[in-house]
């Protein structure tokens, strides 16, 4: 992009001040500023300004009803597993990981996927995800392409981690990295914030940035070329997730669903999880911050929480649905933050109070657009224990304990007794469940 083109674009967006310090910039800073401006799309800027003016639109959730949630057992479970296995054997399933987050609560310096979580091996989170995909694809004799969304900040380090570890055994051609978008921060009155005289403050556009990034990168086209129909979506911080779980895939396909969600029972009425609710024929994710005390505490006639099932962000999407949604604008969510900025003289200021807005998109905002959505209950202890915080709940300590408890349950069911004082770890490529342990046997060893 040339200076003239940048001037025109910014004028069109009402952001001419971005070039205010142009004359004092050196060649390198000028080039990088032009590269940043080239990523700006006038329609996105207009959407940011409108969102700031009108406020983020939060629909009324008071009329929301609990969705119909399936609990699969016996014959229904068997049928779902068989249907899912058919999809896996036909090579119609992909895995999609969002790993572009900043992991600020964990305070880890690097991509969260590189965080070492293996109780014995210290293997990183990426290892457990990749090895599960490998095991599942070996079991069903077809590859499961693995799409990984990174951000500008962690893309290089994520790829380096996969390279250094030989892609954890996965064929390199089945792993597809793509980078999410960055959006400029703005003041309340809709002016783009410069955090240095020649530099726009930008931040990742949220996990909802996934849709635009899938399209832009060619990942959606790649899925189509490979004949993918169902896309299993998961987050980087949960090593318990059962990636491409046949029951979930099968239930999704059998229901003719475009967007399916695995849900687990809340541990307490105020647990901070999103709550899918039904509004007539559609569904919408209601964030915990939007729920009233009455909604949180409401009970059904059996004394159970009425809004019982929350979403830990484990989804299956129909590929064609993602494709249709990728061309639509998504709503923006605002985060009011302390953002470094420049004063009238061009000096950098670090504010002590929030002074500007970041914009994020959330993937679950496409739920109301699904012609058919399906909800499947699962047991939290089996599949969800995220690494969010450095200490306390949802921390590495709780996650490692939950991983080991799950492996111990498999071993016990396979008739293997393990000294409770010893740590346990199972390579997912060796065993995905008790059946694999029974088939492969167990070698209990020191170190």
Residues making up the chain, counted from first to last: 447
| DSSP-assigned beta bridge partners for residue 348 | 342
Among 84, 190, 206, 276, binds ligand UTP (CB under 6 A): 206
- By the rule CB under 6 A, 207 interacts with ligand UTP: yes
347 in helix, strand or coil?
A: coil
Q: Rounded to an integer, what distance in angstroms lies between the CA atom of residue 100 and that of residue 174?
A: 19
Q: Which residue, 214 or 424, has its beta carbon nearer to ligand UTP? A: 214
Distance of CA 374 to the CA centre of its chain: 19
Q: Which residue, 37 or 106, has its beta carbon nearer to ligand UTP? A: 106
Of residues 85-104, which lie at the interface with ligand UTP (CB under 6 A)?
Answer: 98-104
Q: Which residue, 174 or 237, has its beta carbon nearer to ligand UTP? A: 237
Span from 5-13, 160-168, 230-238, 315-323 in contact with ligand UTP (CB under 6 A): 230-238
The interface mask with ligand UTP, positions 332-361, x = CB under 6 A, is: ------------------------------
| CB of residue 97 to ligand UTP, shortest distance in Å | 7
Q: Compute how many other C-beta atoms are within 10 angstroms of the C-beta atom of residue 305.
A: 19
The interface mask with ligand UTP, positions 157-196, x = CB under 6 A, is: -----------------------x----------------
In the bound state, the residue with its beta carbon closest to ligand UTP is 101
Q: Rounded to an integer, what distance in angstroms lies between the CA atom of residue 389 and that of residue 112?
A: 11
Q: Within the chain, what is the greatest distance between any pair of CA atoms?
A: 75
Main-chain phi, psi angles of 340, to 5 degrees: -55, 145
Q: Compute how many other C-beta atoms are within 10 angstroms of the C-beta atom of residue 361.
A: 23
Pairing state between β 315-318 and 259-265: antiparallel
Say what angle helices 74-89 and 246-254 make with each other, to 10 degrees.
Answer: 90
Span from 22-30, 233-241, 247-255, 295-303 in contact with ligand UTP (CB under 6 A): 233-241
- By the rule CB under 6 A, 149 interacts with ligand UTP: yes
Q: Which residue, 362 or 410, has its beta carbon nearer to ligand UTP? A: 362
| CB of residue 65 to ligand UTP, shortest distance in Å | 27
Q: Which residue, 237 or 436, has its beta carbon nearer to ligand UTP? A: 237
328 in helix, strand or coil?
A: coil
DSSP state of 354: -
215 in helix, strand or coil?
A: helix
Q: Which residue, 155 or 174, has its beta carbon nearer to ligand UTP? A: 155
| CB of residue 98 to ligand UTP, shortest distance in Å | 4
H-helix or E-strand spanning residue 223: helix 219-225
Angle at alpha carbon of residue 62, lines to 60 and 66, rounded to 5°: 115
- By the rule CB under 6 A, 286 interacts with ligand UTP: no
| CB of residue 186 to ligand UTP, shortest distance in Å | 17
Of residues 379-408, which lie at the interface with ligand UTP (CB under 6 A)?
Answer: 388
**What are the helix (H) ranges across 298-394?**
319-326, 380-383
Interface ranges with ligand UTP (CB under 6 A): 98-106, 112, 149, 180, 204, 206-207, 235-237, 388
């Amino acid at each position: 992009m040339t200076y003239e083109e940048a001037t025109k674009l910014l004028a069109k967006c009402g952001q001419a001040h971005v070039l205010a310090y142009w004359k004092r910039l050196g060649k390198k800073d000028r080039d990088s500023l032009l590269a940043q401006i080239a990523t700006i799309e006038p329609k996105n800027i207009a959407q940011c300004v409108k969102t700031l003016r009108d406020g983020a639109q939060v629909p009324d959730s008071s009329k929301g009803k609990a969705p119909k949630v399936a609990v699969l057992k016996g014959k229904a479970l068997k049928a779902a597993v068989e249907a899912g296995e058919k999809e896996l054997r036909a090579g119609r399933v992909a895995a999609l990981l969002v790993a572009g987050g900043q992991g600020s609560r964990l305070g880890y310096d690097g991509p969260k996927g590189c965080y070492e979580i293996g109780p014995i091996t210290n293997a990183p989170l990426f290892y457990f995800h990749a090895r599960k995909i490998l095991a599942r694809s070996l079991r069903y004799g077809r590859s499961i392409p693995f799409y990984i969304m990174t951000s500008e900040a962690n893309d290089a380090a994520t790829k380096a981690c996969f390279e250094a570890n030989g892609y954890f055994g996965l064929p390199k051609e089945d792993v597809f990295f793509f980078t999410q978008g960055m959006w400029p921060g703005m003041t309340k009155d809709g002016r783009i914030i410069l955090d240095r005289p020649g530099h726009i403050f930008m931040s990742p556009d949220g996990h909802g940035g996934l849709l635009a990034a899938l399209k832009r990168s060619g990942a959606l086209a790649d899925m189509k070329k490979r004949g993918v129909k169902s896309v299993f979506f998961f987050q980087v911080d949960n090593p318990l997730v059962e990636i491409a779980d046949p029951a979930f895939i099968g239930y999704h396909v059998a229901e003719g669903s475009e967007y399916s969600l695995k849900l687990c029972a809340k541990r307490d009425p105020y647990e901070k999880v999103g709550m899918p609710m039904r509004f007539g024929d559609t569904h919408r994710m209601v964030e915990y911050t939007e729920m009233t005390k009455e909604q949180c505490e409401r009970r059904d006639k059996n004394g159970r929480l009425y809004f019982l099932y929350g979403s830990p962000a484990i989804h299956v999407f129909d590929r064609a649905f993602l494709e249709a949604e990728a061309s639509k604008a998504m709503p923006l969510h605002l985060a009011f933050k302390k953002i470094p900025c420049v004063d009238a003289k061009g000096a950098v200021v670090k504010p002590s109070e929030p002074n500007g807005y970041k914009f994020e998109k959330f993937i679950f905002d496409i739920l109301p657009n699904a012609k058919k959505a399906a909800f499947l209950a699962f047991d939290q202890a089996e599949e969800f224990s995220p690494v969010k915080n450095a200490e306390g709940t949802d921390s590495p300590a709780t996650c490692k304990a939950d991983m080991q408890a799950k492996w111990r349950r498999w071993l016990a069911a396979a008739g293997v007794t393990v000294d409770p004082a010893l740590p346990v770890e199972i390579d997912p490529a060796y065993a995905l469940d008790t059946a694999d342990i029974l088939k492969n046997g167990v070698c209990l060893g020191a170190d």
